Amino acid sequence: MESMGAGAFMPLIMLVAMLGVSYFLLIRPQRKKDKEATEMRNSLQVGDVVVTIGGIVGIVTSIKDDMLVLETGSDRNKVRVKKWAIQNVDTTEESTNK
């Protein structure tokens, strides 16, 4: 029986190394970004100025479960959106009134 040297395991070692590198460069940062976005959406409060994924800017007027009501524009139009559609929070109403 032939003895298998370290060269026989080299492709396996390279595969494991590539998987490890791809985890740390692709998967881990995306999970961290998703976690931060979820925390941001869960911490929304009435009066926050938000921007949706579609670019709509509005002030949160009510929050129920996974739905928000946004007040947009000077004519106070109201738009219902899902929480997952919120891209970022600009400011809160309290900080803009100071």
pLDDT in tens, 50-94: 999 999 999 999 999 999 999 998 899 999 999 999 999 986 555
Asked if CATH classification 3.40.190 holds for the domain at 45-96, the reply, yes or no, is no
Residue 35 burial (10 A CB sphere; 0-12, 13-18, 19+): exposed
For the chain, give every domain's residue range: 6-39, 45-96
What is the DSSP code (8-state) at residue 4? P
3 state DSSP class of 18: helix
pLDDT of residue 1: 44
The pLDDT tens digits for 2-58 are: 556 667 788 899 999 999 999 999 999 999 999 999 999 999 999 999 999 999 999
CB 81 within 8 Å of CB 72: no
- Cα 79 to chain centroid, rounded: 21
